[in-house]
Structure 1
């Protein structure tokens, strides 16, 4: 049995003269939770559509659990929660979950779906009477109705409040703990930092960086040195070694640097005091921007 859950092997997808996916090579193993990050137009949605068999590559190959995406979808081995997925109007939540359970050969019990997605009390409510957060929870329940080995999530926590997001990711971690594979795309980069084993950054339809959250942030090679200004002049801070930008807000100065150690040595050489000194690493947002700029 292959250990690969998802494979892109030189996959290309074009729309006219636009190469949305441009020779994408990517392998995700079983049991991994992977965040797919990149700017708008990077090829994330097209890549997800290829995985789900909604589109076919112009060249190259895409496989799910060693077979075709169509086979995985038909057998219920891959489930998806898409941001723009429509729901049948006028149908109750309970009726839709019961219908979904009859589609797949190995469905997840409806009672479990209700608990997983926190849908208790909503079973008799029509889908067109749900709030944005409730709709997202229902889409999640439908995505796991077939008890899939691979779960694909596109902006899964959009319209959820902070408490709902925390509960959602706790459920995802429990679901993945059974050896299942999770691939998700999100604009909430803190979610990727906190919940992904691995982050894949794509731009122009290609992988530009692949690694753990810590490795991705380190790849940005950008740190911050923050301190409080006193009566000493702030001229010349932009000429310190490694400094790429200087930001001054009130009495606080922040230096963006590619070499924090060299910056600090030079800073202490030109200033008698450096009060309230803080040195921080690049956050994930800084790293993704740097890698895709």
Structure 2
């Protein structure tokens, strides 16, 4: 497959602080990539540089065979960023139609209204929309030019369940048509369900890259949940080997371990006061937490 986005030893420094540190990455055409990381990891800065909103301090970025600020490149990309700013005085319909005219091959106006899910609000001033409605409008604006590459930065924040389902149905349809989608999100279950590739960044550095299944398998972590009886204390668990992390939520306990059999054997052997035991294969969230804590 052809690389549609390439970052070659890219770094970005702000007033002596490194936000992105020697990042090299190649993204193939038609892939759906989730760019994950904790707050301040460098995700938004990376996306901003790919979009040409910021220049890298070092390294080079190429997309669609050109530079981020090339007119021909901008005509083929769409971006839904965290902040959606609307033009005062324009209706939803007028706002979408205005953005359509920025592109050489825009999607039909009615199609974009349907994508936004704002048919009932199309004659309402865009500035009067709720936060979730503005996010949906921002999605329609990002798709106005029928982009080859779509950037989604925390796209479903503020959306209700129905709007979120409609949103992901539309994104899956775009992916099926071969569009390249770059996604950042704190909702890891969304990344797990839609992305065919997960890229994890921490402190500006690439720390993991692979499919969701590969990322989950690489950490070899499983989770034990149980309810602690009144006789169990944190100190009683401290001496058990193979425990990576323990979290107490009231009397509900979560243990992360690469060897749950060993942990359960030790609990039974010591006759610890627990009940309602559940064992889960590590999910993406568990793997993510493990990776960023290293």
Same fold (TM over 0.5): yes
Does residue 37 of the first structure (1) align with residue 36 of the second (2)?
yes
Aligned pairs for 1:1-293 (under 5 A) are 3-71=2-70, 75-227=74-226, 236-246=236-246, 253-271=253-271, 276-293=276-293
- Cα deviation for residue 163 of structure 1 reads 1.7
Q: For 2:83, what is the secondary structure of its paired residue? A: coil
Question: Which piece of structure 1 moves more, 8-17 or 229-238?
Answer: 229-238
Instruction: Give 1:250 deviation, angstroms.
Output: 6.8
**Aligned pair in 2 of structure 1 residues 74, 96: CA closer, same or farther (>3 Å)?**
farther
Partners of 1:64 and 1:34 lie apart in 2 by 15
Q: Distance in 1 between matches of 2:109 and 2:228?
A: 60
Kept in 2: contact 1:33–1:181 (CA 8 A): yes
**Contact persistence 1:65–1:72 (CA under 8 A):** no
In 1: Cα distance, 2:86 partner to 2:72 partner: 18
Q: Please say if residues 4 and 66 of structure 1, whose CA atoms lie closer than 8 Å, have aligned partners that are also in contact.
A: no
1-structure distance, mates of 2:54, 2:229:
60
Cα deviation per residue 1:97-141 (whole Å; 9 max; x = unaligned)?
212222211111111111122121222111111111111111111
Distance 1:122 1:32 in 2: 33
Query: Is 2:68–2:74's contact at 8 Å kept on the other side of the alignment?
Result: no
**79-88 vs 224-233, which moves further:** 224-233
In 1, Cα distance between the equivalents of 2:65 and 2:171? 24
**What is the rounded CA distance, in whole Å, between the counterparts of 1:122 and 1:272 in structure 2?**
59
**TM-score, normalised on structure 2?**
0.89
The structure-2 alpha-carbon separation of the partners of 1:73 and 1:137, relative to structure 1 and needing over 3 Å to count, comes to: farther
- CA displacement at 1:3 relative to structure 2: 0.7
> Greater shift after overlay, 66-75 or 278-287?
66-75
Residues 199 and 213 of structure 1 are in contact (CA less than 8 Å); yes or no, is this contact kept in structure 2?
Answer: yes
How far off its partner does 1:232 sit?
8.1
Rounded to whole Å, the distance in 1 between the matches of 2:248 and 2:121 is 51
CA RMSD of aligned residues (A): 2.4
Where structure 2 has 5 or more consecutive residues not aligned to the other structure, the ranges are none
TM-score by length of 1: 0.90
Question: Offset at 1:231?
Answer: 9.3
